[in-house]
Structure 1
Amino acid sequence: MIRWRWGTVVGVHREWRGSLELDVTVEARRPEDPAAVRALAYPALVGTPQPGDRVLLNLNALALGLGTGGYALVVAVPDRLPEDTDVPGHVVKARYTPLQAIVLAADEEASPLRGALTGAADLGGMPVVVADLHSALPAVVAGALADAPGARIAYVMTDGGALPAWFSRTLDGLRGLLAGTVTTGQAFGGDLESTNVHSGLLAARHGLRADLAVVTQGPGNLGTGTSWGFSGVAAGEAVNAVAALGGRPIAAPRISDADPRPRHRGVSHHSLTAFGRVALAPAELVVPSDLAPELAAAVRAALAPLTPPHTLVEVPSADLTAALESLPVKLSTMGRGFAEDRAYFLAAAAAGRRAASGLAQRGVGD
């Protein structure tokens, strides 16, 4: 199940919030083993490896040729273990794995937010954009800030993709644009921790004082090429959670005319499953106005069976290009940038713009 290898750190490549990228030589066990790898360490879990350190590696991602997760992962620095860190919390993430970590949940007794969250049960109409891929996050943020530059935007990260929020260079680049990140379920490493999406949404609203929130999985996803075998199907469950808590669910369908796979062209079959079969509560299905005519017709035809219970909303998007191009992070989905897949990023940005609508009337920062 795990390709264990010993390695030696020969250099530090780069660093971002919560992550350290290393150059590591590998003690080969098989002829196909690489002589050297790019490895990722999470200092909060394993300490801070230095050149010359012997490290224990997990090479699974490299062996499988994973794109987003194409790193060897540092499991331990056995000869220089980090000091114990006493955490006041008792919530365990990555439970019963060798790297289970104890965190402080936003709503548990030792949390400074305990008082604010103890009786919290309502989002007060807060708009929440739900998307199935992490790559939609910066585009949603760009669309929201284009119309509401003072809005406090929270990211609620589910555990369908990467578990450590530290893996995301996008999150590191969005610091200053986000009010904070809440990691839910088995995901960890956010500014706030929560046990599930429901408590994560409440923490975003009442802990981070968010005006709007974005719910997606972390980087990467699990998919089998079938209608139901995709971790992003949980986007439909997030719509239900938003509605159950008195929020305003806004669905960002995955739209593309550039994906080479027929099942993802027009509206991805994953979005149709998540929002058409799993989401039982009504949501606003956002479609950008600036789509090529043929694509626009295909998108409307695909989404028509979902209305009702959902409502199809066309949002002006022609002027969102500048907002997307001015982001401090690189836009990329499945290896395609904005120039290669405009429709995908415009759709996410349009959902952000829709979420920002009405914030002035509600009072941004309330």
Structure 2
Amino acid sequence: MKRGKPLIGIKIGKAIKILNKDDNKVEVLVKINNTDYKAINYNRLTGCVDIGDHLLLNTTAVDLSLGTGGYHFVISNLDKPDQDISEGGHIMKLRYTPYQLKVFAAEEQGSKYHEVFKKFKSLDDMPVIVGTLHSMLPPMIEMIKFMNPDIKIAYIMTDGAALPIYLSNIVKRLKEKELINGTITIGNAFGGDLDCINIYNGLIAAKEILKCDIAIVTMGPGIAGTGTKYGFSGIEQGYVIDAVNDLGGIPIAALRISFADKRKRHKGISHHTITVLDKISKTQAIVCIPKFENSKKEYICSQLKETTIQKKHKIIYMDIGNAIDVLKNSTLNMRTMGRNFMEDQEYFITVALAAKLGVMTLNDPQLKMLR
């Protein structure tokens, strides 16, 4: 019988220095065959790590030179093998893999919130801003809080990219600054203030448990893409738009627009956004397009003419207004694909104006009627 080659790179390393740590995550320097590497340990998965511990490491992404920041990931602490799991919860994530873990899902029978889901009726026109990249979070939050610091925001992290929410330094900072009121992880993503099985219950939890005014949905750090029309994990934006409509919310699609990205397929409106709004979403979203300078506006208009987007969705063209000043003066880290705000202004402005539109829908009956 032919033996298959393993799909996971596994090595043993020794912890030689703690680089950074908090309650959820430890960044540790490990030595493997006399070479030093960085590794991440998720405390809720594999317990604590101390200097001198021997660690079983997943080295796959670094072996392939993929974009994980050069980190290995701890599979097990070989010097602390016997660890009891926490009580409560029986919903499995990463099911039927060697890495399956259990969470106490908000909707499961033993949860105090179980009846909330059974009694749910509608999102009652709650605005839901649906993004595609994790880097969309800071400009969204910055604009919402600039317009009204009292607005309650829930962040729903999908499983389109990173699965542990602990990996996100953005979320950690937003929570420390009390700029978001709670986090929800759905699908195989885990580690939010609440865990839910899917986007529908994630949206219900945002409204009925976290009592938010606005929800933001997007994946965690990273995105999978292949350069093919349908081969990218951001395609989930289409399903989320439909789910928001199904539950009686107002979906606002955050477009991915850039004139700094050197890849032609991402120039102007990214082919990711065009594919989602043209082919994937079956229901209408409100779409905000900033009024950029003429040449950029014409390029975007020429892209739209080749699609059904203008017929299928409600497009609102918005003045850039104070968006540049709001974002430029932000203390949050504005970066996408290695570019900062000044290097990719159109991207961040577009996302911020989608958030602005979300705030506007809270108090404008006319905008609510656009759904």
Match of 2:187 in 1: 185
2:319 partner amino acid: P
Deviation at 1:249, TM superposition (A): 0.7
Is residue 2:14 matched to residue 1:13?
A: no
Deviation at 1:145, TM superposition (A): 1.8
1:98 partner amino acid: P
Q: Between 92-101 and 44-53, report the one with greater CA deviation.
A: 92-101
What percentage of residue pairs aligned between the two structures are identical? 37
1:142 partner amino acid: E
Is residue 2:226 matched to residue 1:224?
A: yes
Match of 1:295 in 2: 296
Q: In structure 2, what is the Cα distance between the partners aligned to 1:326 and 1:108?
A: 43
Q: Which runs of 5+ in 1 are unaligned?
A: 29-34
Is residue 2:56 matched to residue 1:50?
A: no
Q: Which runs of 5+ in 2 are unaligned?
A: 1-6, 366-371
Match of 1:332 in 2: 335
Q: In structure 2, what is the Cα distance between the partners aligned to 1:87 and 1:294?
A: 59
1:161 partner amino acid: A
Trace 1:156-235 onto structure 2 (pairs within 5 A): 156-175=156-175, 176-235=178-237
Match of 1:317 in 2: 320
Structure 1 residues 69 and 199, CA gap change in structure 2 (3 angstroms): farther
Deviation at 1:317, TM superposition (A): 2.6
Match of 1:32 in 2: none
Deviation at 1:78, TM superposition (A): 1.5
Q: In structure 2, what is the Cα distance between the partners aligned to 1:200 and 1:231?
A: 18
Is residue 2:148 matched to residue 1:148?
A: yes
| Residues 174-232 of structure 1: CA deviation (Å, up to 9, x unaligned) | 11111111100010000100001111111111111111111111110111111110000
Secondary structure in structure 1 of the residue aligned to 2:340: coil
Q: In structure 2, what is the Cα distance between the partners aligned to 1:78 and 1:110?
A: 33
Secondary structure in structure 1 of the residue aligned to 2:237: helix
1:298 partner amino acid: Y
Secondary structure in structure 2 of the residue aligned to 1:358: helix
Q: Report if aligned partners of 2:127, 2:361 keep a CA contact under 8 Å in 1.
A: no
Match of 1:245 in 2: 247
Structure 1 residues 70 and 186, CA gap change in structure 2 (3 angstroms): same
Trace 1:72-91 onto structure 2 (pairs within 5 A): 72-81=72-81, 83-91=83-91
Q: In structure 1, what is the Cα distance between the partners aligned to 2:254 and 2:317?
A: 12
Deviation at 1:117, TM superposition (A): 2.4
Give the TM-score normalised by the residue count of structure 1: 0.93
Q: Report if aligned partners of 1:87, 1:102 keep a CA contact under 8 Å in 2.
A: no
Q: In structure 1, what is the Cα distance between the partners aligned to 2:61 and 2:229?
A: 24
Q: In structure 2, what is the Cα distance between the partners aligned to 1:190 and 1:112?
A: 17
Q: In structure 2, what is the Cα distance between the partners aligned to 1:23 and 1:282?
A: 48
Trace 1:254-293 onto structure 2 (pairs within 5 A): 254-289=256-291, 291-293=292-294
Is residue 2:101 matched to residue 1:101?
A: yes
2:202 partner amino acid: G
Structure 1 residues 68 and 330, CA gap change in structure 2 (3 angstroms): farther
Q: Report if aligned partners of 2:62, 2:68 keep a CA contact under 8 Å in 1.
A: no
Q: In structure 2, what is the Cα distance between the partners aligned to 1:41 and 1:88?
A: 23
Q: In structure 2, what is the Cα distance between the partners aligned to 1:185 and 1:301?
A: 37
Deviation at 1:70, TM superposition (A): 2.9
Count, aligned residues:
355
Q: Report if aligned partners of 2:174, 2:180 keep a CA contact under 8 Å in 1.
A: yes
